[in-house]
A and B are shown apart, each in its own frame.
Chain A
């Protein structure tokens, strides 16, 4: 007798445990093949990053060796210290952190509000506005760089951290994801709250938003990734070292006449690891969140 599980839990594959057999312990060839494929793919996903980290400990001479050595000779942090002393690392790091956190909070707030309107209300211009939102995903920054700068300048936000935080906060993808998720929230809950006399914003804040935690987690990690890696915009808006972010430092190294590859690798690791670590902490939430944006 097989136990069929309902909805969200995955279908059991392979022979299930019946009271007459322990069939579950048999490993079939399909199982083995599947594991091989998955592990190989996982390696493919991870190896470049591992290689990057290993390389960050190698000296320039080691890096130019042929064939390339696997492990560094020493785990000294010289590349890191040299890279970080070439510029005011602490300041750049602080800016990156501040901008990323503030922008993400702002993004979560305004994206969820906009998504709520688009998902749960019926009003004139709704579809047009949604289409407009979708359309703005398709505009790469390079294209509108100068006009955006002019707007920011006329608002006096140049060379300020606000100039880095605000313009990028209205992410269309964030709205898209949150809206998809909110569509699946039962309207009855909202209606019931209305009947109980709750104000619209209260409903949004107390009822809907807490239910959206997975989607919020997704938008959060995406926003963190985008703002942390943002390079072109901070470069143009920031005018003094006091406002630069980490990617600008990386770009500076890459643009030097004699490119210090070992420093670039170290800086790359510094820009890559924090986001990955953050993701690993909040994996569960994030993965569930993405999971619920695809359906319907």
Chain B
């Protein structure tokens, strides 16, 4: 029995040791933060950069990687520096960068889809690029790049827009007319057309959509509401119900793939395979699919204008390039960002990746893409129709979390766990809770 009491004694010692450790904070306690970045513009002589090294954390969707590598080579040659391109899987990027920040190993520049996770760590680029730099870009994307007090925490490097694709072959076979890019169809018209094509061609579904809160927000937007706006939960229950009802109805009679929606839990899932297999004549996704469809689709397809309800246009997404305060060479980082986003370089990049421009000059003069110009033009046109509230929602810190809740809400209704009214009011509640939590 001496053994047992010794084990007990050992446990007691361990517990008290741990408890004492609890007195030490594991890191910096809030309220003791360090100072902010300087606000006066620093001009650095480019010759000073020679021989330095910087790290660029990047993620790729495939075709853009080569363009990035090319631009980086050009930058390296111009300034005689070395840029280490570190390509990570998108979903692990945040974790990796956070680990590095906590280990004192921060990269210099990061490519992000949103600033939320690193807001406090990003460099105010006005100090290096000037107050007027933001003017070179479209106002919508800049909203997402601006921090409190008008700090410019990132540069929007490319834009994506959600929008539908149609299977032209199937539409032709069914004798249904394609939508006119100048006069976009309405939601009802789109669903009608899709259903007709499904009936006439015997395809498995009428309509497919990526399982994503971001895509669902497109629909919400078109009905005039959004998850969050101005740091508050902004969902209008009535409009949300209006927006989601057609989707839920379609999943109810399997005009839209129900299995697909329920099958992967809370993970993102893209329905592009369903479109490529010609199982659905209409597919709501976004412009990044153009490159992939051009390569893999064995049928004629086209981008279609976003359907209108209260609003027209799509829902924006996009990427930013940001510099980290803890990076070793902020001036070089800022210069790198500026270089990658000059009109010429941004044009090269977005042409390769099939992205949309964020620069005013590029948007005005139009961009000639190597392929599928007509489709990209459809998106560019929709860009003009896209309401402001989409940009604000997308860049709100609470967006990602509430988008996940939105997906779960729709799943709950589709699975019969909740009815739509309850799901929407629950969603409003959880979004509000999220907003409050993130504001602390």
Contact = CB atoms under 8 A, between A and B. Distances in A.
Contacts of A131: 7
A13 interface: no
A252 B103 contact: no
Contacts of B62: 256-258, 260
A241 B86 contact: yes
A254 B90 CA distance: 9
A235 B298 contact: no
A98 interface: no
B82 to A, nearest CB: 11
Contacts of A149: 99-100, 102-103
A260 B60 CA distance: 13
Interface in A199-220: none
Contact of A60 (B107, B289, B296): B296
Interface stretch (B116-124, B169-177, B270-278, B430-438): B270-278
Interface string A147-172: 10110111000110000000000000
A18 interface: no
A239 interface: yes
A150 B103 CA distance: 5
Contacts of B180: none
Contacts of A241: 85-87
B153 to A, nearest CB: 23
A61 B298 contact: yes
A240 B86 contact: yes
Contacts of A41: none
Nearest to A63: B273
B89 A235 contact: yes
A251 interface: yes
Contacts of A128: 6-7, 10
Contacts of B90: 255-257
B74 interface: no
Contacts of A261: 273
A72 B319 CA distance: 39
Contacts of B91: 251, 255
Contact of B270 (A60, A235, A252, A257): A257
A258 B26 CA distance: 39
A65 B276 CA distance: 11
Contact of A258 (B6, B61, B99, B104): B61
Chain B interface size band reads 35 or more
Nearest to A153: B103
B73 interface: no
Contacts of A61: 296, 298
B289 A251 contact: no
Interface string A246-268: 00100110111111110000000
B288 interface: yes
A258 B3 contact: no
Given A158-B103, A240-B84, A258-B270, A235 B10 contact: no
Nearest to A152: B103
A258 B7 contact: no
A153 B96 CA distance: 13
Given A258-B61, A259-B270, A153 B105 contact: yes
B98 interface: yes
B95 A145 contact: yes
Contact of B88 (A152, A154, A252): A252
Contact of A252 (B26, B85, B89, B288): B89
Interface string B267-301: 00010110011000000000011001000101000
A18 B359 CA distance: 93
B107 A239 contact: yes
**Interface size grouping (class) on chain A:** 35 or more
A146 interface: yes
A64 B103 contact: no
B61 A236 contact: no
B55 interface: yes
B277 A252 contact: no
A150 B104 CA distance: 8
Contacts of A235: 88-89, 92, 95-96
A128 B11 CA distance: 9
Given A128-B7, A236-B99, A258 B84 contact: no
Contacts of B89: 235, 248, 251-252, 254-255
Contacts of A153: 100, 102-105
A127 interface: yes
A222 B26 CA distance: 34
Interface in B32-68: 55, 59-62
Most B Cβ at <10 Å: residue of A125, A149, A251:
A149
A235 B89 CA distance: 9
A232 B300 CA distance: 41
Contacts of A146: 98-99, 102
Given A236-B95, A239-B55, A240-B86, A256 B103 contact: no
Given A66-B277, A257-B61, A258-B289, A239 B105 contact: yes
B273 A252 contact: no
Contacts of B277: 64-66
Contacts of B102: 146, 149-150, 153
Contacts of B272: 258
B288 A258 contact: yes
Contacts of B95: 145, 235-236
26 contacts: A64-B277, A87-B87, A125-B10, A128-B6, A128-B10, A145-B99, A146-B99, A149-B100, A152-B103, A153-B100, A153-B103, A153-B105, A154-B103, A158-B100, A235-B95, A239-B86, A239-B107, A240-B55, A240-B86, A241-B85, A252-B60, A257-B90, A257-B288, A258-B272, A258-B288, A259-B270
Interface of B: 3, 6-7, 10, 26, 55, 59-62, 84-92, 95-96, 98-100, 102-105, 107, 270, 272-273, 276-277, 288-289, 292, 296, 298
Interface of A: 60-61, 64-66, 87, 125, 127-128, 131, 145-147, 149-150, 152-154, 158-159, 232, 235-236, 239-241, 248, 251-252, 254-261
Given A125-B10, A131-B7, A248-B89, 8 more contacts: A60-B276, A127-B6, A147-B26, A150-B102, A154-B103, A159-B105, A241-B85, A251-B92
A-B pairs with lowest CB-CB distance, top 9: A153-B103, A255-B89, A64-B277, A252-B89, A149-B99, A251-B89, A257-B61, A255-B90, A258-B292
